[in-house]
Amino acid sequence: MAAGIGVVGVVAQERVLPLTELRSGIEFAGPEVRELQQDEFANPGMLWVERGARLWSEVPRTAKAQSCAGCHGDAATSMRDVAARYPRIDSTSGELLNLEARINQCRSERQGQTPWSFESQELLSISSLVSHHGKINGLNVVIDGAARPHFEAGRRLYYQRVGQMNLACAQCHEANWSRTLLAERISQGHPNAYPAYRMEWQSLGSLERRLRACYSGIRAELYPFGAIEHRQLALFLAWRAQGLPMEAPGVRR
Amino acid sequence: MAARIQLPAQARRGEVIEIRLLVQHPMETGYRYDEGGQPIARNVIRTLSCRYAGEEVFRAEMSQGIAANPYLQFTTVALESGDIEFSWVDDEGVAGSERQRLVVTG
Amino acid sequence: MKREGMNAGSDMKHGNGADLARRRLLSVLAASLTWPLWPRQAEAQLSLLDPNVLAFARGAEVRRGRVRLTMPPLADNGNTVSLRVVVDSPMSPQDHVKVIALVSSRNPEPNIARFYLGPRAGRADIATRVRLAGSQRVMAVAEMSDGSFWLDSHEIVVTMSACLDESL
């Protein structure tokens, strides 16, 4: 009991942004963006969810393989409690996987198919379907055990000043959220909307793509898609936003 | 190409119903360049038409000025039970179609 | 002689168009003299002189009214701007909207889209999402079954993103 309280105390101290002050990025968006996200029919991200639902029950060409539905059944029920727990440690390999990597692992190991490439329409469709069905949940990641070193690495990345502008994530999203940068209000930088439809992309994209966009914005070197750094940072971000409801597919400017 | 159609499951004869359509398409402007510096050819859905009860009831002729993943909303008078059918074609000649049934009562 | 004859037709056409444009320009200038109405009135009048609006009307007079174009005054991003056009019309076989044209004052392709309707529509009420290459004036023109043309226009400010995304 005492140990439990102790852990809670340590965790509470670690939080620069208190859980009571968590605000989803949608709260910093304009009325047009908010309206687009809330419209369950016309949210353009729903096109990927729809395509994902079709792919879910599609049997791969290889005769032996099953469709996603063959093992997991109806995604609406089986995937309810999945996306919010990623990134997480894969119990067999001990690797830190994000949702996309987990989907591809299933695809190669269970279905015997070639993994989909990062940001491919297929991978985005399945990941947005799975995330969409987990929408009611608040982000809920495990940072202990094998995840701990990744979490610490993610935290270091978050506070590490990088690039020509010499900025860390924290300078904008922790020290200056809700202030304006040109015509934009700076958000707290939470991952809960992803995969999200960004107007700037005119497409749905993953959290990894969004992180790369941020690094590009501060003129820093980009990590490649699939880099462990993205997953570590995503783990820290998910912990930082612990309990914040998922919005996938979110809409952002 | 995925597409979504929204219309009421049923309507009374003579009622004006709202139809909403969302099509997955990049509506490539022709103004962008790829990573190798080569221009990406324009590819937009030029024409999208909606047929219902034996007639074209709506047609959109579009340019690259319509946003990616085009969204269209319009109305039609419920006449008889039947399919509301959409068909479209883009600059590359790729055609798509989608339909949804409307039940008309009264 | 033959050449002159051939040109006569197109000269006539241009002559009429230029005449019309000149008359409208004069009316804009006249409007500008009554200074309290400037610049809103004159700005609104500019839409009636837009070459793409004139081309759509094929020489017919375009009047303000009957059309209502609704869109936000400010867009966070020019890639996706929602708008709606409602035209006051009974949409009967005798009296209906045939076409609604969307025209941009600044896009590289100014003719955004045309929507073909008819009496089967029940109402003249359409919505879509457009791309806007910067702050500008958007115009919606309706062609009626009686051959008349009606217009509404809307000024919109398109803001720029603070962070450049050159990651892909």
C70 touches chain A (CB under 8 A): no
Mean pLDDT of A134-141: 91
B44-100 per-position pLDDT tens digit: 999 999 999 999 999 999 999 999 999 999 999 999 999 999 999 999 999 999 999
Q: Which of A78, A75, A56, A68 is nearest to A111 (CA)?
A: A68
**Chain C residue numbers touching A29 (CB-CB < 8 A):** 76
A46 touches chain B (CB under 8 A): yes
CA within 13 Å, CB half, A228: 9
**Chain B residue numbers touching C130 (CB-CB < 8 A):** 65-67
At residue B52, the 3 state secondary structure works out as strand
Q: Please give the Cα distance from A128 to A82 (Å, whole number).
A: 12
* Structure tokens given for C160: 């720029």
Average model confidence (pLDDT) for chain A? 93
A58 Cβ contact partners less than 8 Å away, ≥ 6 residues apart: A67
Residue contacts between A and C (CB atoms, under 8 Å): 62
Q: Is the pLDDT of residue A12 over 50?
A: no
**Chain C residue numbers touching B71 (CB-CB < 8 A):** 82, 127-129
Amino acid identity for residue A153 in this structure: A
C156 touches chain A (CB under 8 A): no
- Residue showing tokens 């929602």: C82
Comparing alpha-carbon positions, the chain B residue that sits nearest to C109 is B65
Q: Please give the Cα distance from B65 to B93 (Å, whole number).
A: 19
Cβ A203 vs Cβ B68: under 8 Å: yes
**Helix or strand holding residue C158 (H, E):** strand C149-158
Cβ C52 vs Cβ C62: under 8 Å: no
**In angstroms, what CA-CA distances link C93 with A229, C102, C120, C155?**
64, 24, 8, 34
C75 touches chain A (CB under 8 A): yes
A249 Cβ contact partners less than 8 Å away, ≥ 6 residues apart: A43, A45, A46, A48, A49, A128, A131, A132, A193, A195, A196, A197, A204
B4-30 per-position pLDDT tens digit: 999 998 999 999 999 999 999 999 999
Contact (CB<8Å) A209/C159: no
A203 touches chain B (CB under 8 A): yes
Q: Which positions of A are annotated as active-site residues?
A: 214
pLDDT in tens, chain C (168 residues): 333 333 333 333 444 555 666 666 666 555 555 555 555 666 667 888 899 999 999 999 999 999 999 999 999 899 999 999 999 999 999 999 999 999 999 999 999 999 999 999 999 999 999 999 999 999 999 999 999 999 999 999 998 877 777 776
Q: Please give the Cα distance from A248 to B46 (Å, whole number).
A: 31
Contact (CB<8Å) C79/B66: no
**Chain C residue numbers touching B23 (CB-CB < 8 A):** none
